[in-house]
């Protein structure tokens, strides 16, 4: 196969951090190369070096046989490189069409934007990624999964020959993921070179032809044949130790009912929803994108105004009108959208961890307890192995997975009895996932209740004591652990009208 991309000893350092210390690898035409490595191993940094967003401190990049210096993202585009970043970069107030063609809008001879052409191009591109959205919809009106698909459509618009995906499925549900895989397969058949970063092992085995393992900014090993590797081998290379069963579920004592929701309706939850959760239980919530899981959790937490609904906590009715009400009652909420709802980008790791819990650790109602602040931050940096040069590093300089850990630490610092986690392990590496699950079991053993929303079916099936399956804003069924079955859950989650469209798109893709 013809080699189109080569990194030779590429290094990149930031003040106080050596993000890449020796990256060497080659990718060929028509190859899908997987990248895997712990949080902070340098995967995203490498893609940013490739796209021209960062300049390498040393090393060479060769594209199609020519050594190139990519000094800006413009250079990157010209060299035929498209990168879909881990974080979304869309303008929420602009329409889908405007976002897709941002910086490349078609104009008429008069210099005005050719609205019709823009609309048509956008429509064609949306059809290409099998997304049925009106190009005139504003980005802010779309759920996060569709935004991610728009981001992909945008990157594919320029007919690049090298395409890199940085954890594209972290905010997609199974349905979109399958669609994305078809797109990737089509791109491979067109002879593009593709780089695919993901923490989800199954995905790598599904789409990749070869895989490179990263550790501490170095390429540890490249496996040219997926047939020659096993997930266990990859994990071993990645974290340097064996992980037998990542979920390692075990039965724990489950107590009385502590939380009961009755007749909840609100934005995204049109028909009344009721459910209850027990002490010491992990109650999983599964559903496709748009099934209303996040919306339901936000109503529970008071982040959105509910129209109707009553909450009982430990048998007593309580009122929750705003997040602080919920927090005061001992309910924590880990939001799904890390960038917009989680991190305070320009503040330090320490401040981000202590943001909520510090009010319980003040002196004289008002003054910071500096000792506690430092201690708590350091404790969680260690406990969750957050990779950061110091607790004073700005959180925006951390890798995506490490930012997620910081937000998780924020909620674990709280003394809560009920923890709502919306996609808690999004973007987190296998080793740490394993530790987070242990932590979740331990928390429930201490008598806490966890409501866990996830789009990853294996995860939901792996850790939940019960699973609530949602569809179109309703809970269609709640399954006991011994009733859990992949087919059954998926059938429940799939709305009837979608069953036929999936079928159609299958045919179209083949």
Partner 1 sequence: MKGVNKTMINVGALTAKSKRLWDTSSMFIIFIILFIMLSLFVPYFLTVRNMIGLGLSVSMVGMVACTMLFCLASGDFDLSVENIVAFSGVTAAAVINSTGNVTLGIIIGMIAGGMIGLFNGLIIAKAGINALITTLAMSQIVRGLAFIVSGGQAQSIGNAGFFGLGNGLFLGVPNPIWITAICFVIFTVLIKSTTYGKNTLAIGGNQEAARLAGIHVDRIKIIIFTMQGFMAGFAGVVLASRMTSGQPNTSQGFSLDVISACVLGGVSLSGGVAPIMGAIVGVLIMGTVQNAMNLMNIPTFYQYIVRGAILLMAVMIDQFKQSNKKA
**Max CA separation in the chain (angstroms):** 73
Q: Which of 25, 27, 34, 44 binds ligand ATP (CB under 6 A)?
A: 44
Tokens 């399958």 -> residue:
178
359 binding partner 1? (CB under 8 A):
yes
Q: Which is nearer to partner 1, 340 or 438 (CB)?
A: 340
Beta bridge partners of 477: 469
* Other residues' Cβ atoms within 10 Å of the Cβ of residue 312: 15
The item of ligand ATP, partner 1, Mg ion, none sharing an interface with residue 368, based on CB under 5 to 8 Å by kind, is: partner 1
Round to whole Å and give the CA distance between 500 and 400.
Answer: 36
Tell whether residue 44 is a contact of Mg ion (CB under 5 A): yes
Instruction: Report 417-456 residues binding ligand ATP (CB under 6 A).
Output: 427, 429
Nearer to ligand ATP, 48 or 279 (CB): 48
Q: How long a stretch of residues is the chain?
A: 510
| Nearest-angstrom CA–CA distance, 336 and 422 | 5
Contacts of 307 (CB under 8 A, 6+ apart): 265, 266
Residue 148 interacts with which of Mg ion, partner 1, ligand ATP, none, CB < 5 to 8 Å by class = none
Options 292, 401, 431, 462; binder of ligand ATP; rule CB under 6 A: 401
- Using only C-alpha atoms, the chain has a radius of gyration, in whole angstroms, of 23
Site for ligand ATP in 75-114 (CB under 6 A): 86
Q: State the alpha helices, DSSP H only, in 312-396.
A: 323-328, 349-354, 370-383
**Which of 85, 264, 333, 437 touches partner 1 by CB under 8 A?**
333
What is the full DSSP assignment across 138-185? BGGGS-HHHHHHHHHHHHHTT--SEEEEESGGGG--HHHHHHHHHHHH
Decide if 198 contacts 455 (C-beta within 8 A).
no
Shortest Cβ distance from residue 34 to ligand ATP (Å)?
Answer: 13
- With CB under 5 A as the contact rule, which of the stretches 42-50, 201-209, 242-250, 295-303 interacts with Mg ion? 42-50
202/182 Cα distance (integer angstroms) = 15
Nearest residue (CB) to Mg ion, 85 versus 285: 85
- Tally the C-alpha atoms within 13 A of residue 71's C-alpha that lie toward its C-beta: 0
**Which letter, b or e, does each residue of 173-184 get, where b requires 16 or more Cβ atoms within 10 Å of its Cβ?**
bbbbbbbbbbbb
Does residue 324 belong to the site contacting partner 1 (CB under 8 A)?
yes
Nearer to partner 1, 17 or 233 (CB): 17
Query: DSSP letter at 72?
Result: S
Tell me which of 226, 303, 318, 374 binds partner 1, using CB under 8 A: 303
Q: How far is the CB of 428 from Mg ion (least distance, A)?
A: 11
What distance in Å separates the CA atoms of residue 508 and residue 452, rounded to the nearest whole number? 35
Contact characters 335-354, partner 1, x per CB under 8 A: x----xxxxxxxx---x---
Out of 112, 227, 256, 366, name the contact with partner 1 by CB under 8 A. Answer: 366
Give me 154's structure tokens: 């945008």
Stretch that binds ligand ATP, among 90-98, 270-278, 304-312, 397-405 (CB under 6 A): 397-405
- Decide: is 462 part of the binding site for ligand ATP (CB under 6 A): no
If you write DSSP's letter for every residue of 118-141 in order, what string do you get?
HHHHHHHHHHHTT----TTSBGGG
Interface stretch with partner 1, choices 76-84, 190-198, 226-234, 320-328 (CB under 8 A): 320-328
**Shortest Å, Cβ 344 to partner 1:** 4
Tokens of 75: 């250079």
92 near partner 1, rule: CB under 8 A: no
**Contact partner at residue 284 from ligand ATP, partner 1, Mg ion, none, CB < 5 to 8 Å by partner kind:** none
Considering the rule CB under 5 A, would residue 400 count as an interface residue with Mg ion? yes
Residues that bind partner 1 (CB under 8 A): 9, 11, 13-16, 18, 21-22, 57, 301, 303, 323-324, 326-328, 333, 335, 340-347, 351, 355-356, 358-359, 362, 366-368, 370, 410
Residues that bind Mg ion (CB under 5 A): 44, 86, 399-400
Residues that bind ligand ATP (CB under 6 A): 14, 17, 19, 37, 39-45, 86, 387, 397-402, 427, 429
């Amino acid at each position: 196969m013809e080699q189109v991309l080569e990194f030779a000893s590429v290094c990149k350092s930031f003040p106080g951090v050596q993000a890449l210390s020796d990256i060497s690898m080659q990718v060929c035409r028509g190859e899908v190369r997987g990248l895997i490595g712990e949080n902070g191993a340098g995967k995203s940094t490498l893609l940013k070096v490739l796209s021209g967003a960062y300049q390498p401190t040393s090393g060479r990049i060769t594209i199609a046989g020519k050594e190139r210096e990519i000094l800006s993202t413009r250079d990157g585009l010209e060299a035929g490189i498209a990168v879909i970043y881990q974080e979304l970069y869309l303008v929420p107030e602009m329409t889908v069409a405007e976002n897709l063609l941002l910086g490349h809008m078609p104009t008429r001879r008069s210099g005005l934007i050719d609205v019709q052409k823009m609309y048509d191009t956008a429509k064609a591109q949306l059809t290409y990624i099998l997304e049925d959205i009106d190009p005139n919809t504003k980005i802010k009106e779309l759920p996060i999964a569709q935004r991610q698909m728009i981001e992909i459509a945008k990157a594919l618009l320029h007919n690049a020959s090298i395409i890199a995906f940085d954890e594209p499925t972290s905010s997609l549900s199974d349905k979109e993921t399958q669609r994305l895989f078809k797109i990737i397969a089509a791109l491979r058949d067109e002879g593009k070179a593709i780089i695919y970063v993901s923490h989800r092992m199954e995905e790598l085995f599904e789409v990749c032809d070869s895989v490179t393992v990263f550790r501490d900014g170095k390429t540890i090993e490249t496996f040219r044949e997926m047939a020659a590797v096993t997930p266990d081998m990859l994990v071993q290379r990645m974290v340097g130790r064996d992980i037998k069963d990542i979920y390692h579920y075990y039965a724990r004592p489950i107590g009385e009912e502590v939380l009961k929701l009755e007749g909840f309706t609100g934005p995204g939850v049109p028909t009344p929803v009721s459910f209850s959760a027990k002490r010491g239980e992990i109650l999983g919530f599964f559903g496709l994108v748009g099934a209303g899981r996040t919306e339901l959790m936000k109503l529970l937490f008071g982040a959105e105004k509910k129209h109707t609904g009553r909450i009982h906590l430990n048998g007593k009715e309580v009122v929750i009108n705003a997040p602080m009400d919920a927090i005061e009652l001992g309910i924590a909420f880990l939001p799904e959208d890390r960038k917009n709802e989680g991190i305070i980008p320009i503040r330090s790791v320490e401040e981000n961890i202590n943001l909520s819990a510090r009010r319980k650790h003040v002196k004289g109602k008002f003054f910071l307890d500096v000792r506690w602040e430092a201690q708590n931050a350091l404790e969680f940096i260690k406990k969750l192995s957050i990779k950061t040069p110091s607790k004073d590093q700005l959180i925006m300089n951390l890798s995506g997975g490490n930012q997620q850990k910081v937000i998780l630490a924020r909620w674990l610092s709280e003394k809560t009895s009920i923890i709502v986690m919306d996609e808690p392990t999004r973007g987190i590496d296998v080793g740490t996932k394993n530790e987070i699950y242990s932590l979740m079991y331990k928390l429930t053993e201490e008598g806490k209740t966890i409501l866990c929303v996830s789009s990853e079916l294996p995860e939901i099936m792996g850790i939940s004591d019960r699973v609530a399956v949602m569809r179109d804003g309703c809970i269609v069924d709640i399954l006991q652990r011994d009733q859990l079955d992949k087919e059954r859950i998926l059938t429940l989650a799939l709305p009837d009208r979608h069953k036929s469209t999936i079928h159609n798109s299958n045919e179209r893709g083949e």
